[in-house]
Chains A and B, each alone.
Chain A
Amino acid sequence: MKRFLAAACFTVLTVLSATICIAAPGTIKIGALFSVTGPPSFLGEPERNTAKMEVDEINAKGGINGKKIELIVYDTTGDATKAVQAANRLIKEDKVVAIIGPSTTGESMAVLPVAEKEQIPLISCAAGSKITDPVKKWVFKTAQNDGLAVAKIYEYLNKKKISKIAIITVSDGFGSSGREQLKVNAAKFGIQIVEDSTFGPKDTDMTAQLTKIRGSQAQAIICWGTNPGPAMIAKNVKQLGIKLPLFMSHGVSSKKFIELAGDAADGIILPSGRVIVSDVLPSSDKQKKSLIAFVKDYQKHYKTEGDHFGGHAWDAVMLLKNAIEKGGETPSQIRDQLEKTQNIAGIGGIFNFSPTDHAGLSKDAFVLVQIKDKDWALVK
């Protein structure tokens, strides 16, 4: 009941804060589109929380160049149509200078033509490579490209002399983008995909696909998806007694996955942002300072550990702040400053934007981690 009341109050407050926005003079209006509810809420909720937390902190310290930031958040519920409507509203009614989000690749692809047409900088928090490839003038992103995660896994496979793999990907935006990257990059690393299967985001039994994989020549399985599907797959792999090494995507790099998959999670290897292993990073790591600050801050405000999804929003706010500090006032100035971003260590990695690269991260943004005894361990 307490939780219900808290949730009810929270909803009312969000609605109020989203609808009653009195434009104080000398404020900078930033829009945000997050799927706070709906299936991708595991992305949108930490992103919204993080963005709010960081904006409050910036304002408490006096704002940017003496101006307060006003963050206007709309919930897109994971629906591309709603995301487009909300983006139009942010631009035309709220008159924001820049937009953070949306949370998913599908929504981002739907919203980016709007940003391009209205000439408002957009910093997407989704992972799909195609958001910034080819480069669009007004669109940037903070989440690590899935292509980089694929490269990280393939490198490891090369090292282990594994050349035949099976892939099993979820049939949503995240999964199909991952599937594309897995296929495109395979030849480059001399890897052959011998079995290519998919599963639905709401599927509850993947033994059929895995049985087929078991019957193939594959030496390893790579699964690309977000909870709960991959946890189901981990369990099914154990059930079928498949001994092949199992790899996952960065889409499951949160404690929730270990909780859901239980014992079946043991031994799984995945590429991940550094957030989940921030405490065991060497102190020479450039990102360590911001990582620890973020994790602690999030813990203090929301009583749970900050994850790398929230980190995407943290990075987006930070990049915007940086661009505005350097003299971005109008949307086009902010865009130009964003493009000049160099060597800024955030949560997702070290950002270097350029006119030909609006994703800004290299494959060093990922580390490989293995699940051991229900915790993360760095793979050397």
Chain B
Amino acid sequence: MELSDQIAQYLVSGLSTGAIYALIGLGFAIIYNSTEIINFAQGELVMLGGMFALFFINFLHLPLPLAVLSAVASTTAAGVLFERLTIRPLKAATPLSLIIITIGGSILIRGIAMLVWGKDTHAIPAFSGTEPILIGTATILPQHLWIFALTLLAIAMNKLFFNYTITGKAMRACAVNKRAAGLVGIDVRKMVLYSFAISASLGSLAGIIVAPLTMTSYDVGIMLGLKGFCAAIIGGLSAGAGTVLGGLLLGVLESLGAGLISSGYKDAIAFIILLLILFIRPQGLFGKAETERV
């Protein structure tokens, strides 16, 4: 096979993994912008999405669309509960202690998931079959199309929400200046709660649409979370195009690296990029020094 055909496949594979990283990365960015904390439990929310979908599809035998919606709703509820129980009660906590709390929370969620769903890996049926689709010389699965479509939809909805609704605008105000937002009558704590709800639903969506491809288990959240975090950092923690591009770039570089250099360095590539960005362009690859964050 020609090298160019191989590269086409690497690009397609990379973009589909990248779309997932982008969705997870957005979750990080949205919470960061309204609270200034990095929610390291984001990966666990992704895992919960997949696990709830498994529960609704395989045990309750709900039809697929209903199962997906129920899984998103359940995970969103879990995200809200997480905020209520761990972030809200702390009155004058520094961002650092909140970040540490989210790490603790992630371990707790993982532990509970292990007890409830067991330690095995579980498979979820694909949304619409597993017959590969040929695009030029590259092949993808119908599930990949679902990933692209739902990611695009989620990003578009996000954009609309933040630009054209009062609540979305209020959240953006919090991102710019929390104190000032509070002074003009925006309920900052409510906005923080919303940010957790939105992040949880984005994360769970990522977890659900990726589960038929990658399977799911109680500990998938760690790596997916870290990759999403990388995507957000590349995008300068912007809850918009930056993070999306960051995710896609990360996915493509990983895939090209694994194919052309060595598969052994696949994860290393992601973390080398992360370090380089933090050293050289801490404001993100696409950001100006002062950037609009939402």
> For the complex, is A329 an interface residue (Cβ under 8 Å from B)?
no
Q: Is the CB of A208 within 8 A of B139?
A: no
- Measured CA separation A41–B115 after assembly (Å): 13
Q: Chain A's nearest CB lies how many Å from the CB of B248? A: 14
One digit per residue, 1 when the CB lies within 8 angstroms of any chain A CB and 0 when it does not, for chain B 2-24 equals 11011001100110110000000
Query: How far, in Å, is B245 (CB) from chain A's closest CB?
Result: 20
Known A-B contacts A207-B13, A208-B13, A211-B6; A198 and B263 likewise in contact (beta carbons under 8 Å): yes
Q: Name the CB-closest residue of B to A197.
A: B263
Q: Is the CB of B121 within 8 A of A260?
A: yes
Complex Cα gap A256–B118 (Å): 13
How many angstroms from the CA of A3 to the CA of B1 in the assembled complex?
A: 51
B13 contact from A197, A205, A235, Cβ within 8 A? A205
Q: Is B132's CB under 8 angstroms from A239's CB? A: yes
B177 interface contact, C-beta 8 A:
no
- Tell me whether A4 and B115 are in contact (CB under 8 A): yes
Name the distance in Å between B52's Cβ and chain A's nearest Cβ. Answer: 16
* B290 adjacent to chain A (CB < 8 Å): no
Given contacts A39-B219, A239-B140, contact A211 B10 (CB under 8 A): yes
Knowing A215-B6, A241-B139 touch, does A205 contact B214 (C-beta < 8 A)? yes
Q: How large is the interface on A (under 10, 10 to 19, 20 to 34, 35 or more residues)?
A: 35 or more
- Cα A372 to Cα B139 in complex, Å, equals 25
Q: Is the Cβ of A228 less than 8 Å from the Cβ of B121? A: yes
B255 contacts which chain A residues (CB < 8 A)?
A: 205, 207-208
Task: Scan residues 3-35 of chain A and give those whose CB is less than 8 A from a CB of chain B.
Answer: 3-4, 7-8
CB neighbors of B among A239-271 (8 A)? 239-241, 256, 259-260, 262-264
Q: Count CB-based A-B contacts (< 8 Å).
A: 110
Is A204 part of the binding interface, using a Cβ–Cβ cutoff of 8 Å? Answer: yes
CA distance A247 to B219 in the complex (A): 27
A227 touches B121 (CB 8 A): yes
Are B259's CB and A208's CB within 8 A?
yes
Asked if B136 lies at the interface with its beta carbon under 8 angstroms from chain A, I say no
Chain B: interface size category: 35 or more
Interface residues of B in 210-256 (CB under 8 A from A): 210, 213-215, 217, 219-220, 222-224, 254-256
> Which DSSP category, helix, strand, loop or mixed, fits chain B's interface?
helix
CB–CB A200/B267 < 8 A: yes
Residues of B within 8 A of A202 (CB): 219-220, 222-223
What sequence of 0s and 1s flags, for each residue 133-174 of chain B, a beta carbon within 8 Å of any chain A beta carbon?
000000111000000000000000000000000000000000
Q: How far is the CB of A313 from chain B (nearest CB, A)?
A: 17
Residues of B within 8 A of A208 (CB): 9-10, 13-14, 254-256, 258-259, 263, 266
- Select which of A42, A207, A239, A260 is within 8 A of B119 by beta carbon: A42
Q: A214 an interface residue at 8 Å Cβ cutoff?
A: yes
A contact patch SS: helix
Contact B115 A263 (CB under 8 A): no
- What residue of chain A has the Cβ atom nearest to residue B123's Cβ? A260
Give the Cβ gap from A164 to chain B, nearest Cβ, in Å: 15
Q: Which A207-230 residues have C-beta < 8 A from chain B?
A: 207-209, 211-212, 214-215, 227-228
- CB <8 Å contact, B119 and A41: yes
Q: Which of B114, B214, B217, B266 contacts A200 (CB 8 A)?
A: B266
Q: Is the CB of A209 within 8 A of B132?
A: no
By a CB distance below 8 angstroms, the chain A residues around B6 are: 211-212, 214-215
Q: A202-B220, A208-B258 are in contact. Are A256 and B120 (CB under 8 A)?
A: yes
The answer to whether A238 and B263 have CB atoms under 8 Å apart is no
Contacts of A198 in B (CB 8 A): 262-264
B86 at the interface (CB under 8 A from A): no
- B130 interface residue per 8 A CB criterion: yes
Contact status B130-A263, CB under 8 Å: yes
Cα–Cα, bound, A365→B258 (Å): 36
B116 within 8 A of A: yes
Residues of B within 8 A of A241 (CB): 132, 139
Q: Which of A39, A232, A238 contacts B130 (CB 8 A)?
A: A238
Q: A199 on the interface (CB 8 Å rule)?
A: yes
**Nearest CB to that of A44 among chain B residues?**
B119
- Which of these, B115, B123, B214, contacts A204 with CB under 8 Å? B214
Please give, as numbers and ranges, the residues of chain B lying within 8 Å of A205 by CB-CB distance.
Answer: 13, 16-17, 213-214, 255
Q: A96 on the interface (CB 8 Å rule)?
A: no
In contact, A42 and B258 (Cβ under 8 angstroms)? no
Interface residues of B (CB under 8 A from A): 1-3, 5-6, 9-10, 13-14, 16-17, 114-116, 118-123, 130, 132, 139-141, 210, 213-215, 217, 219-220, 222-224, 254-256, 258-259, 262-264, 266-267
A-B contact list, 13 entries, CB within 8 Å: A45-B119, A197-B262, A198-B262, A204-B220, A205-B213, A208-B258, A209-B259, A228-B217, A232-B215, A239-B139, A260-B215, A262-B123, A262-B130
The list of the 8 closest CB pairs from A to B, nearest first, reads A204-B214, A208-B258, A215-B1, A208-B259, A228-B121, A207-B13, A211-B9, A197-B263
